[in-house]
Amino acid sequence: MATGILGGTFNPVHMGHLRVAEEIREAFDLETVYFIPAFIPPHKDAGEASPPEERLRMLRAATRGSGFFKVSDLEIKRGGISYTIDTLKRFKLRFDDLYFIIGADAFRLIGTWHRYEELFSHAHFIVMTRPAFGTVDIPDMLPARVRGKLAPFNDAERKGVYIHESGKKIYLYRVTQLDISSTKVRNLLSEGRSVRYLVPPPVERIIIQRRLYRS
Ligand code: ATP
Ligand code: MG
């Protein structure tokens, strides 16, 4: 069965993450989606993120009760800067049909990722649309070195599918456009404002109890 991976900082996890993961799970018939919080995200100011244990705790609370979502502490346990290439290689040892799920905002920057060219040999990619990041075609979002290794793939059910020379595919998938981000949640909290209905109730409780994201 197919397995999904959703990497991120999850600082904190919000309804946007959960809903798009659910839509993709259903559309691609994924048996499990692993949410994997980064220990140190390579592209973010590490000082800004809540401690990894808090982000993990909120993710566990958010996904409890779902039969399809799991949380992996692989990157947190590994420590150091969290590189997706290392994570995909580890997951490949256990799962043979891997789908890496990523928002268009992050995908457009993939040319800056560690050993990015190799990523496309280890997993299929599902690129999710995201508000404010006008999505173009998959090849237009990629550096020339990857673009040259792609060909359009004729999929009976889907449009906008490409195949990499490794045989792995890249899908563009239109999810419900939820203009929610962790940045927005953090900003509201730092102003003392409500984040109810932007994050799941157990996450809101943890944020309040542990006084996270207060300025
Ligand atoms: P921040 O504002 O701190 O960057 P974020 O909301 O973007 O937080 P991340 O942890 O950076 O959350 O996101 C993890 C992954 O989920 C990324 O691939 C991102 O593009 C995707 N993602 C997050 N929120 C949404 C959303 N509302 N719709 C679609 N994709 C999303
Ligand atoms: Mg982000």
**Domains in the chain: ranges and CATH:** 2-179 (3.40.50.620)
Q: Has residue 48 got a pLDDT over 80?
A: no
Cα of 14 vs centre of ligand 1, distance in Å, is 9
| 101-119 average pLDDT score | 97
Residues in the chain: 215
Q: Is the model more confident about 60 or about 47?
A: 60
Residues at CB less than 6 angstroms from ligand 1: 8-11, 16-17, 20, 102-103, 105-106, 128, 130, 175, 178, 180-183
- Amino acid at position 36, single letter: I
* Cβ neighbours of residue 65 closer than 8 Å, sequence gap 6 or more: none
3-state secondary structure of 130: coil
For the whole prediction, is pTM greater than 0.85? yes
Q: What residue owns the CA closest to ligand 1's atom 17?
A: 103
Helix axes of 201-209 and 52-63: crossing angle, nearest 10 degrees: 150
